[in-house]
């Protein structure tokens, strides 16, 4: 088919390129698999399949034959609710002690009242055509196994069923966390709760609650009421809400670790209590992002008295053994500017600000220890000589963890798991806490590496789009931390991630539904052609990565700017972009001989090449669409370049040097982020141009 004719038809139709293209490659990559793979995520450590399947119908029952407790009863109800949702079946809400139930659950004994790090989470799940048995040492293992069972239930030609399997499973790491920063943007409790549901579904077991920051102190203190009253814009969790939330997490086998970041990242504290600060104040809630000067006064006994009383109050709210004191990113400017603090440093022989912070950390650690908790802190709190029960959370990387482990300290990895940086699921998935420097540790030292935590920093997320920034990518990190280290195949991960992403919707996570709504806001009452053009563009762009959003902003970003732009609406990983890249690679690895793939590439490129007019029409009506006008123009140019490259390949003649130069200059322009958006297919089109530029024919070898 000629691209001109095709283009004509597509142009008339105003087809959304992405809608079209979403169907292209996956069809290739997933069809004709026999037998169909199980869609389990995280992958269990051992799965043996056998013949047959257990039918799941409205007569489904679950019963408990071993240790029983109210939490298990609630877990069973939640399990039945999920089973009802994912099948639509009217399964009754009854549980019993009968061994004749469809699913018989047996926990040997109770788990700890307060969930402990390293508690047994293993389980075995045996499914036969006649019934299923889930066994575990304690309720934690049961919680994990119930989620695996839900993932086994699939539709079949004869109804719903769970395939016959024997699964033996346990986590690789005992600390598998998600951190959410509720301070830079306040995140309502119901949003956090549905994210706990998502964590349970993928077997994560630590919710790290980043509760205080320059931009907000988010928990009620009855002792120091000005913390939340003056430091939160009235957006905070009451103590009763915190208790409910901790119970909600405990029901799901999730520990809640609170973080109160100090001595930096604490401007919001000083609005009500300027006497804690090293500067002279007055202070107001920070509206910008970044590292700021305000820091607690580490030389004042009043500071420690205050923290002692606050921590005494907070440890009653948070039963977990761990208490996170932050400790990151103190720039020291307030300390340098304060003569009293300078004097203190001299008199205490503290040479540097790092020494001063070490002094502060040790004092706070003692307070935390006094109140019966162990400390977690970011890299900066790791100072040789601190108590051995401390856990280092590394934003710096595996080498920090390894260094700490070599001295006998525990660590968890967050470097490589920052969800806000916009990395692909595959890139997060490739990060292993035991790689790099950690790989060279001794066996005993390796045991000190407890796992990791994904981190959702909230500069650019709010209640509307946060789910989409966490899911589904977080499921890939959850698998990394649960499954054996050998489970690393990204293609398998993506195939299962797609299924898991659909299933997570039954938990009312909004990571898929938010998108069309935000695009409709951007588009307004547009024509279907215009909306399709917006969707086509939005499907192949991603926000700029890492910290570029702040660095490239034309107006300094603040917490008071709305998050209603295209850059806020598009997913952080473009499925369409990924599919196109896979398709282009496949084409090149065929020696450019695969006519079917060539046609598919041509169809996609054609759609892009003609997308701009409808988008430009929308951009004239919507200021939010207008922000992507240049990117839309780039996309159309990109499509045209790609078609020319395919024409060149098809003609079998090498592109003339000036032609190549011309195409490359278009690509160079398209590769520049505009409106803080990256056009994802640029690199794949570049490969096509390179292929067309080689002598005579496509001679690219398999990648």
Active site residues: 329
Q: Torsions phi, psi of 486, nearest 5?
A: -75, -10
Give every CB contact of residue 341 below 8 A, 6+ residues apart in sequence: 278, 297, 298, 299, 334, 335, 356
- Give the Cα separation of 342 and 178 in Å (integer): 39
| Interface with its own copies (CB under 8 A), residue from 9, 96, 312, 656 | 9
**Mask: binding to its own copies, 481-500, rule CB under 8 A, as x and -?**
------------------x-
- Among the listed ranges 149-157, 187-195, 453-461, 542-550, the one in contact with its own copies (CB under 8 A) is 149-157
Q: How many CB atoms lie within 10 A of CB 128?
A: 16
Q: Is the Cβ of residue 342 or residue 527 nearer to its own copies in the bound state?
A: 527
* Bridge-based pairing state of the strands 159-169 and 123-128: antiparallel
DSSP-derived secondary structure letter, 283: -
- State in angstroms the smallest separation of the CB of 632 from its own copies: 15
Q: Is the Cβ of residue 517 or residue 672 nearer to its own copies in the bound state?
A: 517
- Among the listed ranges 87-95, 138-146, 163-171, 374-382, the one in contact with its own copies (CB under 8 A) is 87-95
DSSP H helical ranges for 273-352: 301-317, 333-336, 339-347
Stretch 564-583 residues interacting with its own copies (CB under 8 A) = 564, 568
Token pair of 478 as six digits? 């959850």
- Give the Cα separation of 243 and 249 in Å (integer): 10
Could you say whether residue 599 binds its own copies (CB under 8 A)?
A: yes
Q: Are 90 and 67 in contact (CB under 8 A)?
A: no
Stretch 449-468 residues interacting with its own copies (CB under 8 A) = 464
Q: Is the Cβ of residue 379 or residue 462 nearer to its own copies in the bound state?
A: 462
| Interface with its own copies (CB under 8 A), residue from 331, 506, 548, 650 | 506
Q: Are 407 and 471 in contact (CB under 8 A)?
A: no
Q: Torsions phi, psi of 224, nearest 5?
A: -120, 80
Q: Which helix (H) or strand (E) holds 359?
A: helix 353-370
Stretch 151-180 residues interacting with its own copies (CB under 8 A) = 154-159
Q: Are 19 and 611 in contact (CB under 8 A)?
A: no
Q: Is the Cβ of residue 624 or residue 700 nearer to its own copies in the bound state?
A: 624
Residues binding its own copies: number (CB under 8 A): 69
Q: Is the Cβ of residue 24 or residue 364 nearer to its own copies in the bound state?
A: 24
- Among the listed ranges 44-52, 253-261, 433-441, 514-522, the one in contact with its own copies (CB under 8 A) is 514-522
Could you say whether residue 1 binds its own copies (CB under 8 A)?
A: yes
Could you say whether residue 58 binds its own copies (CB under 8 A)?
A: yes
Residue (of 211, 190, 200) closest to 258 by Cα position: 211
- Give the Cα separation of 32 and 587 in Å (integer): 20
Could you say whether residue 22 binds its own copies (CB under 8 A)?
A: yes
- State in angstroms the smallest separation of the CB of 562 from its own copies: 5
**Mask: binding to its own copies, 611-640, rule CB under 8 A, as x and -?**
---------xxxxx-x--------------
Give every CB contact of residue 164 below 8 A, 6+ residues apart in sequence: 49, 50, 51, 52, 53, 54, 127, 128, 129
Q: What are the beta bridge partners of residue 208? A: 179, 257
- Give the Cα separation of 477 and 431 in Å (integer): 9
Q: Is the Cβ of residue 155 or residue 656 nearer to its own copies in the bound state?
A: 155
- Give the Cα separation of 406 and 409 in Å (integer): 7
| Interface with its own copies (CB under 8 A), residue from 51, 90, 130, 555 | 90
- State in angstroms the smallest separation of the CB of 517 from its own copies: 6
- Among the listed ranges 83-91, 359-367, 667-675, 690-698, the one in contact with its own copies (CB under 8 A) is 83-91
- Give the Cα separation of 519 and 532 in Å (integer): 10
- Among the listed ranges 176-184, 361-369, 561-569, 675-683, the one in contact with its own copies (CB under 8 A) is 561-569
Residue (of 368, 415, 400, 366) closest to 257 by Cα position: 368
DSSP-derived secondary structure letter, 338: -
Torsion of CA 200, 201, 202, 203, to 10 degrees: 40
Q: Is the Cβ of residue 492 or residue 502 nearer to its own copies in the bound state?
A: 502
Q: Is the Cβ of residue 490 or residue 495 nearer to its own copies in the bound state?
A: 495
- State in angstroms the smallest separation of the CB of 499 from its own copies: 5
Token pair of 635 as six digits? 């996309």
- State in angstroms the smallest separation of the CB of 20 from its own copies: 6
Give every CB contact of residue 327 below 8 A, 6+ residues apart in sequence: 261, 262, 263, 357, 361, 377, 378, 380, 381
Could you say whether residue 128 binds its own copies (CB under 8 A)?
A: no
Q: Is the Cβ of residue 59 or residue 440 nearer to its own copies in the bound state?
A: 59
- State in angstroms the smallest separation of the CB of 442 from its own copies: 42
- Among the listed ranges 17-25, 108-116, 237-245, 679-687, the one in contact with its own copies (CB under 8 A) is 17-25
Contact positions vs its own copies (CB under 8 A) = 1, 5-6, 8-9, 12-16, 19-20, 22-24, 26-27, 30-31, 36, 39, 58, 86-90, 154-159, 464, 499, 502, 505-506, 512-513, 516-518, 520-525, 527-529, 532, 560-564, 568, 596, 599-600, 603, 620-624, 626
């Amino acid at each position: 088919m000629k691209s001109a004719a095709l283009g004509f038809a597509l142009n008339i139709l105003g087809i959304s390129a992405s809608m079209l293209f979403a169907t292209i490659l996956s069809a290739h990559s997933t069809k004709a698999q026999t037998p169909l793979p199980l869609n389990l995520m995280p992958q269990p450590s051992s799965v043996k399949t056998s013949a047959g399947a257990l039918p799941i119908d409205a007569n489904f029952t679950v019963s408990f034959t071993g240790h029983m407790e109210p939490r298990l009863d609630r877990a069973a109800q939640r399990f039945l609710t999920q089973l009802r949702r994912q099948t639509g079946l009217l399964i009754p809400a009854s549980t019993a002690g009968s061994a004749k139930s469809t699913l018989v659950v047996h926990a040997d004994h109770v788990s700890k009242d307060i969930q402990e790090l390293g508690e047994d989470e293993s389980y075995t799940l045996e499914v036969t055509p006649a019934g299923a048995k889930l066994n575990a040492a304690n309720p934690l293992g049961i919680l994990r196994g119930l989620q695996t069972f839900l993932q086994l239930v699939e539709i079949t030609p004869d109804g719903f069923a769970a395939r016959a399997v024997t699964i033996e499973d346990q986590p690789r790491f005992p600390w598998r966390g998600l951190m959410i920063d509720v301070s830079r943007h306040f995140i309502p409790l119901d949003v956090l709760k549905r994210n706990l549901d998502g964590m349970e579904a993928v077997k994560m077991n630590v919710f790290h609650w980043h509760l205080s920051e320059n931009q907000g102190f988010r928990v009620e203190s009855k002792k120091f009421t000005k913390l939340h009253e003056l430091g939160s814009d009235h957006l905070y969790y009451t103590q009763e809400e915190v208790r409910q939330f901790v119970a909600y997490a405990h029901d799901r086998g999730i520990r809640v670790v609170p973080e109160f970041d100090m001595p930096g990242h604490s401007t919001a504290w000083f609005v009500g209590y300027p006497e804690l600060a090293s500067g002279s104040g007055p202070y107001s809630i920070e509206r910008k992002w970044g590292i700021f000067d305000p820091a607690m006064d580490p030389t004042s006994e009043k500071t420690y008295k205050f923290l002692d009383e606050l921590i005494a109050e907070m440890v009653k709210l948070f039963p977990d053994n761990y208490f996170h004191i932050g400790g990151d990113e103190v720039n020291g400017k307030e300390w340098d500017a304060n003569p009293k603090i300078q004097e203190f440093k001299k008199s205490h022989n503290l040479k540097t600000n790092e020494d001063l912070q070490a002094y502060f950390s040790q004092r706070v650690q003692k307070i935390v220890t006094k109140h019966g908790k162990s400390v977690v802190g970011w890299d900066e709190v790791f100072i040789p000589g601190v108590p051995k029960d401390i856990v280092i959370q590394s934003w710096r990387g595996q080498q920090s963890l390894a260094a700490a482990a070599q001295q006998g300290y525990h660590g968890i990895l967050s470097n490589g798991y920052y969800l806000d940086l916009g990395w692909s699921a595959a890139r997060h998935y490739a990060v292993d806490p035991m790689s790099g420097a950690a790989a060279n540790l001794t066996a005993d030292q390796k045991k000190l590496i407890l796992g990791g935590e994904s981190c959702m920093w909230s500069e650019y997320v709010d209640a509307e789009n946060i789910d989409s920034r966490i899911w589904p990518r977080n499921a890939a990190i959850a698998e990394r931390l649960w499954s054996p280290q050998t489970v690393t195949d990204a293609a398998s991960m993506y195939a299962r991630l797609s299924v898991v992403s659909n299933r997570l919707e039954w938990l009312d996570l909004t990571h898929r539904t938010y998108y069309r709504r935000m695009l409709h806001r951007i588009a307004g009452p547009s024509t279907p052609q215009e909306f399709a053009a917006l969707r086509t563009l939005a499907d192949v762009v991603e926000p700029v990565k890492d910290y570029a959003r702040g660095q490239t902003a034309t107006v300094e970003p603040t917490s008071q700017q709305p998050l209603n732009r295209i850059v806020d609406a598009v997913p952080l990983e473009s499925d369409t972009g990924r599919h196109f890249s896979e398709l282009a690679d496949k084409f090149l690895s065929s020696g450019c001989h695969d006519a079917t793939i060539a046609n598919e590439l041509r169809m996609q490129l054609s759609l892009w090449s003609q997308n701009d007019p409808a988008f430009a029409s929308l951009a004239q009506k919507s200021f939010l669409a207008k922000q992507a006008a240049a990117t839309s123009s780039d996309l159309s140019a990109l499509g045209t370049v790609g078609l020319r490259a395919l024409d060149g390949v098809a003609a079998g003649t090498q592109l003339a040097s000036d032609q190549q130069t011309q195409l490359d200059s278009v690509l160079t322009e398209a590769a520049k982020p505009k409106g803080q958006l990256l056009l994802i297919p640029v690199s794949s089109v570049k490969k096509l141009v390179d292929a067309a530029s080689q002598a005579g024919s496509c001679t690219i070898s398999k990648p």
